[in-house]
Amino acid sequence: MTTRLGADSRRGPQIISPGRLALYGTLTLFAALFVLPFVWQLGGSLKTPAELATGSFNLFPADPQWGNYAEVFRRAPIATWFANSVVIAVLGTLGATLTSAFCAYGFAVLRARGSRLAFGMVLLTILVPYQVLIIPEYIVWAKLGLTNTPIPLVLPWFLGGGAFNIFLLRQFMLGLPRDMVDAARVDGAGELQIFRRIILPMCAPALAVVAVFHFIFMWNDFLRPLLYLQDPSATTLPVGLAGFVTRFARQWHLLLAGSAIALAPLVIIFALAQRVIARGISVAGVRK
Amino acid sequence: MSRLRSLFAPLPLLQRNEERWFWLFIAPFLAGFVLFALLPLIASLALSFMDWNLRGTPKLVGLENYADLVNLEGKGKLVLKAFSNTAMITMIAVPLQLAIGMAFAMLLNQKVRGMAIYRMAFYLPTVVSGVATAALWTWILGTEGLLNKGLDLIGVAGPAWFNEPESVRWGIIFMLVWAGTGGMTLIFLAGLQQISKELLEAAECDGAGRIRRFFSVTLPLLSPTLFFNLVIGLIGGLSLFTEPFVISGGAGGPANESMSVALLIYRLLIRNLDFGFGSAVAWLLTLVVMLLTVINFRLSKRWVFYDN
């Protein structure tokens, strides 16, 4: 510490060059552009309708109206939507993380003819937008009588867990030392044992990345719950909230409070999992 | 017979065993692929030749749905509108996301103190994108919203962004750029950080200026990342759904100006129960996405530079 201080003082008085100042200015300006709307929203959710109509530029209200939140809970089944969202996001994340790791083990560790072809199929599914599949899938779930249950939203994630997740975990597993797998095989360990006892624990950082990103994806997902959970008591927070926009048109204080409730879990996860998210981005950047 | 074949298979026992495990491990994916991608695609192709609304039995109608698709006086008019809206929004929003994302990444790639905080600030809108953010922007861009209040201060009367046919798509483009740029920024940043400093320094020694260094060193080495962002961005743009749904209450208005292809498919399915025609639209979208991706990969051979 002392040497660093000494090194700094030798450079003379700290003057920030104009170039650096411009850099920080630009970065701060854009960071504000991305963050301020959320602050406005939070402030707006605590204002009275009258204050929203006149003094919108104050970030925070003169007299915080916590009652806005109580009113939202009274006028819409927010607690139910929230619980539904949690159940669906947790189950979907569990399924996607487990099965994508399982499949990634096949692609990364096991050698087989047809492996490249099968992996090509994984990548191909990235190119098919879900929107083009909704009609037949909706018909099947409706005929099976499984709409308004979490099954259509959760079950598909237990089958493969999504191409991105398989891809990311495969990349990570390819970077692991292979000798451990070979040694375990010589010792007579089966593939399931190697997967569970050796590979899975070593993949913990990558699994965390997949879990965090998939949870965020599940929480934000809109089209699927909109299709399959049309019953207001079975639906999720985003679908309920979308209804707010038309139902509470011009009652912005309620709309803003509702969206603050929907954003809260994401902001908390975002704050808690910053390192995981940053690492996930650098993993995503490593591609061949 | 099969036992005989496997006996005479050219593979040694251990390797054959490994193959069996491979198929077992990827079995969940294969099941998911067949059940939730392949069969629905085939089913929607079949449905596109039928007339059906959930009640009764599906009726084969041949190419009638496709004839409707190109009948611009009738049903095809809205389809054309949806495709042109989606194309316009994608063609403006995605290049903006790419350009701004790359510029931000270059800025963040400097030695910046507090870099982690800036990075997180840029990424926040991407993480929380969806209905809640779209709702937030309907407020900020509303008739009496913050933006128009700001414009009032400098004496400009802003439009009712989402209530007027002329401005609604620009409002959506704005939301997409605002919410989508951060994710691209961070992927570009990861790409930039893999470019070796030595290469840039060598170029500098050879007298290459900032601009020359960018176009001759940074951009070619970043091209795989750019390509990835482009492909993913285009597919995301073409499947646009949440933003138009939220701002128009699911109607695609005003005057169908915010109707996207995905929103149209949704409406044909849920509101009209017009499964046959909806499937034809879905297949048209599939073909467009596939064609665009093939063109993209073909063109990429000319401009994407792979180091190995």
Judged against a pLDDT cut of 50, whether residue A5 lies above it is answered with no
Q: What's the longest Cα–Cα distance across chain A?
A: 77
Quick one: pLDDT at residue B11?
60
Specify the CATH number for A76-247; select among 1.10.606.20, 1.10.3720.10, 1.10.287.1040, 3.40.50.970: 1.10.3720.10
Tokens, residue B278: 């909806």
How far apart are alpha carbons B274 and B245 in whole angstroms?
19
Shared-domain flag, residues B126 and B99: yes
B16 compared with B57, residue with greater pLDDT: B57
Check CB contact under 8 Å for B132 and A238.
yes
Please answer whether residues A101 and A192 qualify as being in contact, where contact means their C-beta atoms are separated by less than 8 angstroms: no
Shared-domain flag, residues B287 and B154: yes
Asked if the structure places residue B308 within a domain, the reply is no
Interface of A with B in 162-181 (CB under 8 A): 166
Asked if the structure places residue B1 within a domain, the reply is no
Chain A touched by B161 (CB under 8 Å): no
Check CB contact under 8 Å for A135 and B278.
yes
Check CB contact under 8 Å for A156 and B36.
yes
What residue has token string 């899975």?
A200
Judged against a pLDDT cut of 90, whether residue B203 lies above it is answered with no
Please answer whether residues A241 and A258 qualify as being in contact, where contact means their C-beta atoms are separated by less than 8 angstroms: yes
Check CB contact under 8 Å for A241 and B135.
yes
3-state DSSP call for residue B57?
strand
Shared-domain flag, residues B105 and B27: no
How far apart are alpha carbons B44 and B18 in whole angstroms?
37
CATH number of the structural domain spanning residue B211:
1.10.3720.10
Shared-domain flag, residues B293 and B153: yes
Check CB contact under 8 Å for A263 and B270.
no
CB neighbour class for A262 (10 Å; exposed up to 12, middle 13-18, buried from 19): buried
Helices of type H across chain B: 2-7, 13-25, 27-33, 39-47, 64-70, 76-108, 115-127, 131-140, 146-153, 168-192, 197-205, 210-213, 219-238, 242-248, 261-270, 275-303
Tell me the average pLDDT of chain B.
88
B31 compared with A288, residue with greater pLDDT: B31
Q: Express each pLDDT in A181-214 by its tens digit.
A: 889 988 888 899 999 999 999 999 899 989 998 9
Q: pTM for the full model?
A: 0.89
How far apart are alpha carbons B24 and B12 in whole angstroms?
19
Q: Quick one: which H or E segment has residue B53?
A: strand B50-53
Check CB contact under 8 Å for A242 and B144.
no
How far apart are alpha carbons B258 and B273 in whole angstroms?
21
Q: Give the closest residue to A161 by CA, choosing from A88, A89, A97.
A: A97
Shared-domain flag, residues B56 and B151: no
Quick one: pLDDT at residue A56?
59
Tokens, residue A86: 């949690």
- Comparing alpha-carbon positions, the chain A residue that sits nearest to B120 is A274
Check CB contact under 8 Å for B187 and A284.
yes
Asked if the structure places residue B8 within a domain, the reply is no
Q: Give the closest residue to A161 by CA, choosing from B36, B269, B295.
A: B36
Give me the mean pLDDT over the B109-115 stretch.
81
Interface confidence: ipTM more than 0.90: no
Shared-domain flag, residues B109 and B47: no
Please answer whether residues B80 and B72 qualify as being in contact, where contact means their C-beta atoms are separated by less than 8 angstroms: yes
How far apart are alpha carbons A134 and A196 in whole angstroms?
35
Shared-domain flag, residues B256 and B273: yes
Domain count, chain B: 2
Give me the mean pLDDT over the B19-33 stretch.
95
3-state per-residue secondary structure call for B105-168: HHHHCCCCCCHHHHHHHHHHHHHCCCHHHHHHHHHHCCCCCHHHHHHHHCCCCCCCCCCCCCCH
Q: Express each pLDDT in A254-263 by its tens digit.
A: 888 998 998 8
Q: Give the closest residue to A214 by CA, choosing from A172, A276, A148.
A: A276
Residues of chain A positioned with their CB less than 8 A from the CB of B32: 156, 159-160
Q: How far is A4 from chain B (nearest CA, A)?
A: 16
How far apart are alpha carbons A104 and A95 in whole angstroms?
14
Q: Give the closest residue to B87 by CA, choosing from B289, B238, B291.
A: B238
Q: Quick one: which H or E segment has residue A187?
A: none
Quick one: what percent of chain B has pLDDT higher than 70? 95
Chain A touched by B288 (CB under 8 Å): no
Judged against a pLDDT cut of 70, whether residue A281 lies above it is answered with no
**How many beta carbons lie within 10 A of that of residue A9, not counting itself?**
10
- Domain ranges within chain A, ordered by starting residue: 2-70, 76-247
Enclosing domain of residue B47: 13-65
Check CB contact under 8 Å for A159 and B39.
no
Quick one: pLDDT at residue A4?
45
Shared-domain flag, residues B48 and B79: no
Interface of A with B in 32-91 (CB under 8 A): 33-35, 37-38, 40-41, 44, 53, 56-57
Q: Provide Rg for chain B, Cα atoms.
A: 25
Shared-domain flag, residues B81 and B53: no
Tell me the average pLDDT of chain A.
86
Q: Checking phi first, is residue B70 left (phi over 0); if not, alpha (psi -120 to 50) or beta?
A: alpha
Q: Express each pLDDT in A30-83 by its tens digit.
A: 899 899 888 888 888 898 888 877 765 677 888 888 999 999 999 889 999 999
Asked if the structure places residue B30 within a domain, the reply is yes
Burial A101-138 (b: 16+ CB within 10 A, else e): bbbbbbbbbbebeebeebbeebeebebbbbbbbbbbbb
